[in-house]
Amino acid sequence: MAGADAFYATYLSTPRGGGVPDAAARARYAPAISSTLAGLLDGAAKAEEDFAQITKGQVPPLLEGDIFTSLFEGATAYTVGGCKENGDSATCVISLTHAEPGQKPISWTDMALLAKGADGWRLDDIGYGGNWDFSNKGKLSETLKFAIANARGD
């Protein structure tokens, strides 16, 4: 499905530093994501700024590693599998791989949750499918809402 492919193509071509993408990266993702997801990313970025100021940068950020996949290190390749539409939403199976030279590749499946708007299909959320220790769990939206809710540093 075009919306999922647009997001993951952008994902692979956008430099990733881990955690919430910076403003420049969020701008690159904007054409491929829903306004809801864009708002959550902006909110989480603001939360990270607030958290860093409150903690005077003495603790790690609220979110570390790749937030767009189950694997902390992120993916180096993807394949959009089957998609199921249900009105203005769709779910696509995304096969992901992380490969480093000289190491055995790691493969897993996440779910791309899409929303259909006036300008077509866009990524609205990600369902993490990793089942190993320390993989991202649940959904991307839950991860971003966690950061927003915990920015005070309590």
Res 36 pLDDT > 60: yes
Q: What string of DSSP letters covers 1-42?
A: -HHHHHHHHHHHHS---SSS--HHHHHHHGGGB-HHHHHHHH
Model's pTM, two decimal places?
0.94
Name the residue with tokens 């003495």.
Answer: 58
Q: What string of DSSP letters covers 65-82?
A: S-SSSSSTT--SEEEEEE
The two tokens of residue 31 are 């054409």
pLDDT of amino acid 57: 87
pLDDT digits (tens, 9 = 90+) for 67-81: 999 999 999 999 999
pLDDT of amino acid 71: 97
Average pLDDT value over all residues in the chain: 95
Confidence of residue 143 (pLDDT cuts 50, 70, 90): very high
pLDDT of amino acid 42: 98
Half-sphere exposure of 69 (CA within 13 A, CB side): 26
CA distance 32 to 73: 22
Confidence of residue 136 (pLDDT cuts 50, 70, 90): very high
What is the spatial order of strands in the sheet that 77-86 belongs to? 77-86, 89-98, 106-117, 120-127
Half-sphere exposure of 47 (CA within 13 A, CB side): 24
Q: How many residues does the chain have?
A: 154
Q: At what angle do helices 140-149 and 35-54 cross, to 10 degrees?
A: 40
Mean pLDDT of the 25-51 span: 97
Domains in the chain and their CATH numbers? Answer: 2-149 (3.10.450)
pLDDT of amino acid 153: 57
The two tokens of residue 90 are 């769709």
CA distance 54 to 73: 27
CA distance 95 to 103: 19
